[in-house]
Amino acid sequence: MLNKRMGKQTIKLHKPPSIVSTGSIVGPKEGAGPLCSFFDVILDDDLFNEKSWERSESKLQSEAIKIALNKGEVSTADVNYLFAGDLLNQLMSSNYAARATAIPFFGLYGACSTMAESLSLGAMTVDGGFAQKVLCVTSSHFSSAERQFRYPLEFGNQRALTTQWTVTGSGAALLSVQDKPPYITHVTTGKIIDPGIKDVNNMGAAMAPAAADTIIQHFEDTKFSVNDYDLIITGDLGIIGKSIVLDLVQQEGYDIKNIYQDCGVKIFDNEKQDTHAGGSGCGCSAVVFCGYIYSKLKEGSLNRVLLVSTGALHSTTSIQQGESIPGIAHAVTISNT
């Protein structure tokens, strides 16, 4: 039996699946940010002609799926599995988006780490010979997330400077056995790290130790050096979490500052758009990867990327009961070779 494991938490895929196509759709605020030219669709209205924010978010997923399938010239009947997740109760957005596809469905919850989680499981499924084609999809919506995790928009509360702006958007990636770059070559599965933070308005600090732990473990497992990557990018740590990761990784001897970015920092112009500590949400790393990063990989300006999506695994119930906020980070290596 072929041993694909490397070290404690990483696997090397024997037959790395291709990322055949992606789809990305974002709201007006994201479309006014610095990455606007990389998104497939930018909405004029984040209600998306629906009656609620939640219905709008589910529609975002449906549209991202359609875009990825159309670009890949594939129909839903050709897809073996759909891996999808979001932030809402019982994966509301994903469940209703999946309902319309008739694709066998795995619902995932990794909070904002779900994009890398879906890519991880999708890639392992294809590499293992259990599927020819899979779709990996995640989404978030500023207004639905605010209503569930913080306060309804009508309340008009003042946001703390450590808060991040939940991205309205969805990203979908189509993986296939097709031998065409870019490929998913390695998967490093994160473990829960809890620094004891209880402030729901400081997600970056809560998730940063998990991101640093996964990055360090990835290097230890694979024996890659920092120079083996063109880009290491975390999901949605924002300005505060990004700074913490740099310090924690540096302490273990890995100087990544010249190649390290964060999706939550890149997606908005923080000063002009008043997003405080940056962007967040399942849709953050999803649209930055499916839009910006995938485009750079296809044109060859990036050749090897480590995508590290990060998640805060709290709920409204756990916070009301005084629990701290566990963090998780999953990483995938995407390479043109």
pLDDT digits (tens, 9 = 90+) for 34-87: 999 999 999 999 999 999 999 999 999 999 999 999 999 999 999 999 999 999
Residues of the chain with CATH 3.40.47.40: 5-176, 183-335
Rounded (5°) CA angle 24-28-30: 60
Largest CA-CA distance found in the chain, in angstroms, rounded: 59
CB 195 within 8 A of CB 206: yes
- The pLDDT tens digits of the residues spanning 237-271 come to 999 999 999 999 999 999 999 999 999 999 999 88
Provide the CATH topology of domain 183-335.
Answer: Peroxisomal Thiolase; Chain A, domain 1 (3.40.47)
In a 3-state reduction of DSSP, which class is residue 22?
strand
Separation CA 26–CA 228 (nearest Å): 31
Q: What is the pLDDT of residue 148?
A: 80
Phi, psi of 107 (to 5 degrees): -85, 130
Helices (H) and strands (E) in the chain, counts: 12, 15
Q: pTM to 2 decimals?
A: 0.96
In what helix (H) or strand (E) does residue 325 lie, and over which residues does it extend?
Answer: none
Q: What is the pLDDT of residue 299?
A: 97
Q: What is the pLDDT of residue 156?
A: 66
Measuring CA to CA, which residue among 6, 3, 10 is closest to residue 191? 10
pLDDT at 1 over 60: no
Q: How many CB atoms lie within 10 A of CB 158?
A: 6
Separation CA 168–CA 166 (nearest Å): 6
Per the CATH hierarchy, to which homologous superfamily does domain 5-176 belong? Stage V sporulation protein AD (3.40.47.40)
In a 3-state reduction of DSSP, which class is residue 110?
strand
Grade residue 151 by pLDDT with cuts at 50, 70 and 90.
Answer: low
